[in-house]
């Protein structure tokens, strides 16, 4: 009986440690996101702590939904950096747009079977968002990225020349 109780206590300690690590990681990412304000404010875009916390919470949900894992690093600061100078993003929709871009990013990492690096995918997304999509996230996701993913799965590697 004592051995069983000791095993239960050890398991509880491991769960507590894992939860503490997850919370520290969440706080670190919230801080990283808030630090992007230093750069993005020149474009009239800033995020509150509540916005950053929402982005991190939805990041966790999206990662689960897409069956993906990120260790310590988050793609959010890169998404923010890539899109903050867009002519199509306004403060009123900034958080909502970032939430959607994050979802799209993770979906198309899966759809391209991870054949495309994070930077390559972000570059493609930004280029299409600014040009043919003219800021339309539905068109970016449903048309441009869908066709791109099909081409990547078929063996296309021309995007690597960018």
Per residue of the chain (162 residues), what is the pLDDT tens digit?
677 666 655 655 566 877 888 888 889 999 999 999 999 999 999 999 999 999 999 988 887 888 887 766 789 999 999 999 999 999 999 999 999 999 999 999 999 998 999 999 999 999 999 999 999 999 999 999 999 999 999 998 887 765
Residue 143 pLDDT: 97
Residue 36 pLDDT: 97
> With 0-12 CB in 10 A as exposed, 13-18 as middle and 19+ as buried, what is 113?
exposed
Q: Among 126, 133, 132, 120, which Cα is nearest to 159's?
A: 120
160 Cβ neighbours under 8 A, 6+ residues apart: 120
Instruction: Give the integer Cα–Cα distance in Å for 104 and 15.
Output: 31
Instruction: Give the integer Cα–Cα distance in Å for 78 and 118.
Output: 9
């Amino acid at each position: 009986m004592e051995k069983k109780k000791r095993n239960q206590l050890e398991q509880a300690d491991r769960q507590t440690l894992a939860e503490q690590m997850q919370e520290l990681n969440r706080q670190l990412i919230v801080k990283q996101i808030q630090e992007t304000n230093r750069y993005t404010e020149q474009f009239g875009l800033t995020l509150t702590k509540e916005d950053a916390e929402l982005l991190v919470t939805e990041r966790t949900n999206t990662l689960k939904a897409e069956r993906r894992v990120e260790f310590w690093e988050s793609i959010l600061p890169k998404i923010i950096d890539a899109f903050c100078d867009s002519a199509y993003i306004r403060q009123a929709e900034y958080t909502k747009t970032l939430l959607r871009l994050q979802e799209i990013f993770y979906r198309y990492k899966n759809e391209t079977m991870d054949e495309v690096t994070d930077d390559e995918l972000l570059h493609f997304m930004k280029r299409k968002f600014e040009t043919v999509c003219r800021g339309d996230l539905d068109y970016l996701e449903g048309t441009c990225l869908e066709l791109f993913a099909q081409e990547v799965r078929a063996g296309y590697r021309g995007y690597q020349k960018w």
